[in-house]
Structure 1
């Protein structure tokens, strides 16, 4: 009994599928110009979006080089430069010492050297001067 029901169901499904396919074919035949127009319009839309993104996208910022010329003129060593970067990041002397694996007294000495080379009396002044020179971002 169930086999007959399933068989008739499959025949009805196949017939429905065939009628839908024929209806689709008729629709596609009658409106083929509209379908082609839609596809061309969609292609131009995608092309316009892609070109717009490429043309009007902000240019990539130049890579930060740290102004090696200014570093050489000031005579900043590598460790002093690291301390200056940590200062610019807002780190305390203890945090800088822990990050660079040196004693806090060493950090104090290097900070004092950086201040002297930049002609600064405070951290904020040293950071501002280093940013003006392009040494730190």
Structure 2
């Protein structure tokens, strides 16, 4: 938090120094108002580009599944499929249809995923799986 404040303080100090260095009262008579408007526009555009780059999320590098975490947790391939479909927001019946298994089997897989990830809800399971790089 202190770093941006210090940087802005330095920028303001540099701007004040620059204005004093130019001896603003004498320069005003030599150059037109359009010049100053253009200078302010350039500074605002540069600041906007900088802020945009700082606030825009960077694209994530290609996802690499953490097979070591999957093995350490003891998740089966089918449980990983069920977890992926949970992350996509599908209901148990939809997961059952797409994986060609019964809804009770889906419930069993979901319960085992909860147990292995040590969570109590779908949201927690997906969040923990993403933290462990099991899901993209």
Cα deviation, residue 66, structure 1: 1.5
Cα deviation, residue 60, structure 1: 7.9
Partner residue of 2:128?
129
What CA distance in whole angstroms lies between the structure 1 residues aligned with 2:113 and 2:63? 20
What CA distance in whole angstroms lies between the structure 1 residues aligned with 2:117 and 2:67? 15
| Unaligned runs of at least 5 residues, structure 1 | 1-58
Partner residue of 1:67?
66
What CA distance in whole angstroms lies between the structure 1 residues aligned with 2:60 and 2:111? 33
Partner residue of 1:84?
83
Partner residue of 1:26?
none
If you compute each CA radius of gyration, which structure gives the higher value, 1 or 2?
Answer: 1
What CA distance in whole angstroms lies between the structure 1 residues aligned with 2:90 and 2:98? 10
The alignment's C-alpha RMSD in Å is 1.5
**Normalised TM-score (structure 2):** 0.55
**Normalised TM-score (structure 1):** 0.55
Say if 1:61 and 1:129 are closer, same or farther in 2 by CA, change over 3 A.
closer
Partner residue of 1:39?
none
What CA distance in whole angstroms lies between the structure 2 residues aligned with 1:121 and 1:63? 29
Partner residue of 1:108?
107
User: Could you give the per-residue CA deviations for residues 47-72 of structure 1, whole angstroms, max 9, x where no partner exists?
Assistant: xxxxxxxxxxxx98533221101101
Aligned residue pairs total 79
Partner residue of 2:18?
none
What CA distance in whole angstroms lies between the structure 2 residues aligned with 1:123 and 1:95? 15
User: Could you give the per-residue CA deviations for residues 58-116 of structure 1, whole angstroms, max 9, x where no partner exists?
Assistant: x9853322110110110100000000000000000000001100000000000000000
